[in-house]
C-alpha cells in the first residue's frame, strides 16, 4: 500500500512538473520545475531499491546539470525571450507526430504485456550480495570496466569541447 502511495505521489510530481517544464514562458521557472521532476524521479528510483542511482541522480542531475542550466540562463538574457513567441509554427504537426508516438508506445506495451510476465526471480540473499552500492560498484569495475573507461574519455572530451566552444577567440585565431 505504501509502495503504491509513493509511486503515485512521485509519478504525479514527475509528470506534472514535466508538463510545466515544457509549457512555462519563463526559462527560470522551467528550470525550477525540471528540478522538481528530477527529485521525483530520484524518489521513483528509491522505490525501485536503486539507492545508489538515486543518489547519483540527485548529485549529478540536480547538483550538476541543473545548476549548469541555471548558470547559463543567468549568463544570457532572459527578459527578452519571455516576450517572444514561445511555440513553433509547426506545433500542429508536432502534436500529430506526438500522438502517433503515443499510439505506437501504447500498441507496443499492449502487444508486449505478456512478455512482462517474467518468471519469478529469487532475490539473492542480502548478506551474500552486499548492499546496492557494492553490487553496482562490483559490476562497474568487473563486467563493465571497458564501458566505464570509455565513459571517462567521453567526459574528458565533453570538458574540452565545452571549454573550446565557449572560450573567447584570440585575435590570432581570427
Q: State the cell numbers at 161.
A: 569541447
**98 in contact with other proteins (CB under 8 A):** yes
Binding mask 17-56 for other proteins (x = CB under 8 A): -xx-xx----x--xx--x--xx--x--xx-xxxx-xx--x
Q: State the cell numbers at 55.
A: 543518489
Give min distance, CB of 171 to other proteins, in A. Answer: 16
**84 in contact with other proteins (CB under 8 A):** yes
Task: Report the distance separating Cα 4 and Cα 12, nearest Å.
Answer: 12
Q: State the cell numbers at 60.
A: 549529478
Q: Helix 145-166 vs helix 132-141: angle between axes, to the nearest 10 degrees?
A: 90
**145 in contact with other proteins (CB under 8 A):** no
Size of the site for other proteins (CB under 8 A): 84
**88 in contact with other proteins (CB under 8 A):** yes
**Residue that is written with C-alpha cell 541522480 in the block:** 57
List Cβ neighbours of 26 (8 Å cut-off, separation of 6 or more). Answer: 78, 82
Task: Report the distance separating Cα 106 and Cα 91, nearest Å.
Answer: 22
Among 91, 107, 131, 149, binds other proteins (CB under 8 A): 91
- End-to-end, the C-alpha distance of the chain in Å comes to 65
**13 in contact with other proteins (CB under 8 A):** no
**11 burial level (CB within 10 Å; 0-12, 13-18, 19+):** middle
Interacting residues with other proteins between 49 and 68 (CB under 8 A): 49-50, 52-53, 56-57, 60-61, 64-65, 68
**113 in contact with other proteins (CB under 8 A):** yes
Give min distance, CB of 45 to other proteins, in A. Answer: 6
Among 86, 107, 131, 149, binds other proteins (CB under 8 A): 86
Residue 85 or 173: the one with the smaller Cβ distance to other proteins is: 85
Amino acid at each position: 500500500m505504501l509502495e503504491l502511495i509513493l509511486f503515485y505521489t512521485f509519478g504525479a510530481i514527475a509528470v506534472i512538473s514535466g508538463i510545466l517544464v515544457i509549457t512555462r514562458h519563463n526559462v527560470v521557472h522551467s528550470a525550477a520545475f525540471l528540478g522538481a521532476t528530477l527529485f521525483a524521479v530520484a524518489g521513483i528510483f528509491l522505490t525501485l531499491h536503486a539507492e545508489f542511482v538515486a543518489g547519483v541522480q540527485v548529485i549529478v542531475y540536480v547538483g550538476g546539470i541543473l545548476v549548469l542550466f541555471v548558470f547559463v540562463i543567468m549568463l544570457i538574457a532572459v527578459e527578452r525571450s519571455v516576450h517572444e513567441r514561445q511555440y513553433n509554427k509547426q506545433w500542429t504537426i508536432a502534436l500529430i507526430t506526438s500522438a502517433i508516438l503515443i499510439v505506437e508506445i501504447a500498441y507496443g506495451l499492449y502487444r508486449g504485456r505478456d512478455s512482462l510476465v517474467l518468471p519469478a526471480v529469487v532475490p539473492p540473499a542480502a548478506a551474500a550480495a552486499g548492499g546496492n552500492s557494492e553490487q553496482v560498484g562490483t559490476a562497474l569495475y568487473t563486467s563493465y570496466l571497458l564501458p566505464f573507461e570509455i565513459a571517462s574519455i567521453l567526459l574528458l572530451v565533453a570538458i574540452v569541447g565545452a571549454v573550446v566552444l565557449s572560450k573567447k577567440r584570440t585575435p590570432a585565431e581570427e
